[in-house]
Structure 1
Amino acid sequence: MALAAAGAGVLLLCAGAGLALNAGAVDRTAGLTLVFGAAALAVGGVLDPGAFRALAQTRRGRFATLAVLVSALTIGILGLLNLVAARSVQAIDLTRAGYYTLAPQSVLAAKRLDSDLTITGFFRPDQQASKRTATGLIQLYQQQTPHIQLRFADPDQDPALAQQLGVDIAGDLVLRYKAKPPVILTLASQSEADVTGALLRLQSNRSPLVCWAQGDGERDLLDRQSQTGYAQAQDVLKQRGYRLQTLLLSQQTAVPADCEVVAIVGPTSGLTAPAQAALNQYLGQGGKLLLAYAPWQGEAVTASLNSPLKDLGVGFSGGLVVEGDSSRQAANDRTVAAVFNYGDSPISKGLAGHTVLFPHSSSVSGQAAAGVDSVDVVQSSSSSYLVAQPRASADLDRKDSDQAGPLTLMKTLEVKRTADRKTRVVLVGTPDIAENLALTTQGTFNRDLFLAGFDWLSEQEEVIAVASKPSQAQALPITQQDLYVNAFVTLLLVPALLAGLGVAVYVRRRR
Structure 2
Amino acid sequence: MKMWLFPLWVIIDVLVALSSVALWIAAPEYKTLNIGLSVFAVTLGMLLSFMRWNELMVFVRSPYFKRVLYHGMNVGLVIAIAAVINYLGNRNYKEFDFTSEKRNSLTEQTVKVLEMVKAPLQLTIYAKREEWKPLLDMLKLYEAKSKNIKITAIDTDVRPDLVKAKKITQNGTVLIDYKGKESSFIIADELSVTNALLKALRDQQIVLYMVTGHEELSCAEVSPEGLSELCAKLASQNYEVKPLDLTQTKAVPSDASAVMVFGPVSGFLDSETQQLEKYLAQGGSLFLGLAPAFKSEVYDNLTALAKPYGLKLGKDVVIDRLSTVQGSEATIPIISSYEHEHPITSQFDLRTVFPLSSSVSVLEGNDSATLIAFTSSFPGSWAETDLKGVTAGKAEFKEGQDIKGPIGLLGVGEMVGEKSARDSRFVMLGSSSFLINAYQNQSGNPMLFLNTVSWLVNDEGIISFNRPGIEEYPIILSSQHIQMIFVIAILLVPIIFFGCAIFIYRRRRLL
TM-score band w.r.t. shorter chain = 0.5 to 0.7
Q: Deviations over 1:189-211 (max 9, x none)?
A: 56668755431212222321100
| Equivalent residue number for residue 137 of structure 1 | 135
Superposed, 1:423-502 pairs within 5 Å as: 423-441=424-442, 444-462=443-461, 500-502=501-503
Verify the 8 A CA contact 2:132 2:153 in the aligned structure 1.
Answer: no
Q: Secondary structure at the match of 2:242?
A: strand
Residue 359 of structure 2 is aligned to residue 345 of structure 1: no
Q: Deviations over 1:201-256 (max 9, x none)?
A: 122223211001112121111222x2221111111111112111001134444222
| Equivalent residue number for residue 413 of structure 1 | 413
Moved over 6 A (4+): 87-92, 100-106, 152-155, 168-172, 496-499
Query: In structure 2, how many angstroms separate the alpha carbons of the residues matched to 1:30 and 1:411?
Result: 77
Residue 321 of structure 2 is aligned to residue 324 of structure 1: yes
Report the residue type matching 1:407 in the other structure.
I
| Equivalent residue number for residue 306 of structure 1 | 303
Query: In structure 1, how many angstroms separate the alpha carbons of the residues matched to 2:456 and 2:369?
Result: 13
Verify the 8 A CA contact 2:414 2:426 in the aligned structure 1.
Answer: yes
Query: In structure 1, how many angstroms separate the alpha carbons of the residues matched to 2:139 and 2:274?
Result: 48
Query: In structure 2, how many angstroms separate the alpha carbons of the residues matched to 1:415 and 1:169?
Result: 37
Residue 359 of structure 2 is aligned to residue 363 of structure 1: yes
| Equivalent residue number for residue 122 of structure 2 | 119
Check 1:122–1:286 CA distance in 2 against 1; reply closer, same or farther (3 A cut).
closer
Query: In structure 2, how many angstroms separate the alpha carbons of the residues matched to 1:173 and 1:342?
Result: 27
Verify the 8 A CA contact 1:101 1:140 in the aligned structure 2.
Answer: no
Residue 292 of structure 2 is aligned to residue 295 of structure 1: yes
Check 1:257–1:114 CA distance in 2 against 1; reply closer, same or farther (3 A cut).
closer
Measured after TM superposition, the shift of residue 311 of structure 1 is: 3.5
Superposed, 1:241-256 pairs within 5 Å as: 241-256=238-253
Residue 216 of structure 2 is aligned to residue 215 of structure 1: no
Q: Secondary structure at the match of 1:453?
A: helix
Check 1:393–1:282 CA distance in 2 against 1; reply closer, same or farther (3 A cut).
same
Q: Secondary structure at the match of 1:149?
A: strand
TM-score (norm 2): 0.62
| Equivalent residue number for residue 477 of structure 2 | none
Report the residue type matching 1:449 in the other structure.
L
Verify the 8 A CA contact 2:105 2:141 in the aligned structure 1.
Answer: no
Query: In structure 1, how many angstroms separate the alpha carbons of the residues matched to 2:280 and 2:69?
Result: 74
Q: Secondary structure at the match of 1:461?
A: coil
| Equivalent residue number for residue 387 of structure 1 | 384
Verify the 8 A CA contact 1:222 1:230 in the aligned structure 2.
Answer: yes
Measured after TM superposition, the shift of residue 271 of structure 1 is: 0.8
Query: In structure 1, how many angstroms separate the alpha carbons of the residues matched to 2:450 and 2:410?
Result: 14
Report the residue type matching 1:307 in the other structure.
A
Measured after TM superposition, the shift of residue 310 of structure 1 is: 3.7
Verify the 8 A CA contact 1:385 1:407 in the aligned structure 2.
Answer: yes
Verify the 8 A CA contact 1:109 1:196 in the aligned structure 2.
Answer: no
Verify the 8 A CA contact 2:312 2:363 in the aligned structure 1.
Answer: no
Check 1:458–1:307 CA distance in 2 against 1; reply closer, same or farther (3 A cut).
same
Verify the 8 A CA contact 1:266 1:292 in the aligned structure 2.
Answer: yes
| Equivalent residue number for residue 260 of structure 2 | 263
Query: In structure 2, how many angstroms separate the alpha carbons of the residues matched to 1:30 and 1:244?
Result: 69
**Structure 1 portions without partners, runs of 5+:** 1-22, 36-83, 93-99, 124-128, 467-493
Superposed, 1:25-424 pairs within 5 Å as: 31-32=71-72, 111-112=114-115, 114-115=117-118, 117-119=120-122, 121=124, 130=128, 133=131, 136-146=134-144, 147=146, 148-151=149-152, 167=166, 174-177=175-178, 180-185=179-184, 195-224=193-222, 226-325=223-322, 330-343=326-339, 344-351=341-348, 353-365=349-361, 367=363, 373-383=368-378, 384-388=381-385, 389-390=387-388, 391-392=390-391, 394-400=393-399, 401-418=401-418, 420-424=421-425
Report the residue type matching 2:184 in the other structure.
L
Percent identity for Structure 1 against Structure 2 = 22
Q: Secondary structure at the match of 1:427?
A: strand
| Equivalent residue number for residue 66 of structure 1 | none
Q: Secondary structure at the match of 2:219?
A: coil
Verify the 8 A CA contact 1:110 1:145 in the aligned structure 2.
Answer: no
**Structure 2 portions without partners, runs of 5+:** 1-24, 26-67, 76-88, 466-494
Check 1:88–1:456 CA distance in 2 against 1; reply closer, same or farther (3 A cut).
closer
Query: In structure 1, how many angstroms separate the alpha carbons of the residues matched to 2:244 and 2:455?
Result: 21
Verify the 8 A CA contact 1:110 1:144 in the aligned structure 2.
Answer: no
Query: In structure 1, how many angstroms separate the alpha carbons of the residues matched to 2:437 and 2:106?
Result: 28
Verify the 8 A CA contact 1:107 1:141 in the aligned structure 2.
Answer: no
Verify the 8 A CA contact 1:265 1:292 in the aligned structure 2.
Answer: yes
Report the residue type matching 2:336 in the other structure.
F
| Equivalent residue number for residue 38 of structure 1 | none
Report the residue type matching 1:381 in the other structure.
S
Verify the 8 A CA contact 2:195 2:461 in the aligned structure 1.
Answer: no
Report the residue type matching 1:119 in the other structure.
Q
Query: In structure 1, how many angstroms separate the alpha carbons of the residues matched to 2:437 and 2:464?
Result: 21
Measured after TM superposition, the shift of residue 265 of structure 1 is: 1.1
Aligned Cα RMSD in Å?
4.5
Query: In structure 2, how many angstroms separate the alpha carbons of the residues matched to 1:30 and 1:340?
Result: 68
TM-score (norm 1): 0.62
Query: In structure 2, how many angstroms separate the alpha carbons of the residues matched to 1:206 and 1:267?
Result: 30
- Higher relative contact order at CA 8 Å, sep ≥6: structure 1 or structure 2? 1
Verify the 8 A CA contact 1:255 1:282 in the aligned structure 2.
Answer: yes
Verify the 8 A CA contact 2:221 2:228 in the aligned structure 1.
Answer: yes
Check 1:122–1:412 CA distance in 2 against 1; reply closer, same or farther (3 A cut).
closer
Q: How many residue pairs get matched? A: 380
Query: In structure 2, how many angstroms separate the alpha carbons of the residues matched to 1:120 and 1:153?
Result: 11
| Equivalent residue number for residue 19 of structure 1 | none
Report the residue type matching 2:335 in the other structure.
V
Q: Secondary structure at the match of 1:333?
A: coil
Q: Deviations over 1:351-410 (max 9, x none)?
A: 1x432222221112451665x611111222222111221324642343444222222211
Query: In structure 2, how many angstroms separate the alpha carbons of the residues matched to 1:386 and 1:269?
Result: 24
Check 1:134–1:29 CA distance in 2 against 1; reply closer, same or farther (3 A cut).
farther
Check 1:461–1:239 CA distance in 2 against 1; reply closer, same or farther (3 A cut).
same
Verify the 8 A CA contact 1:415 1:423 in the aligned structure 2.
Answer: yes
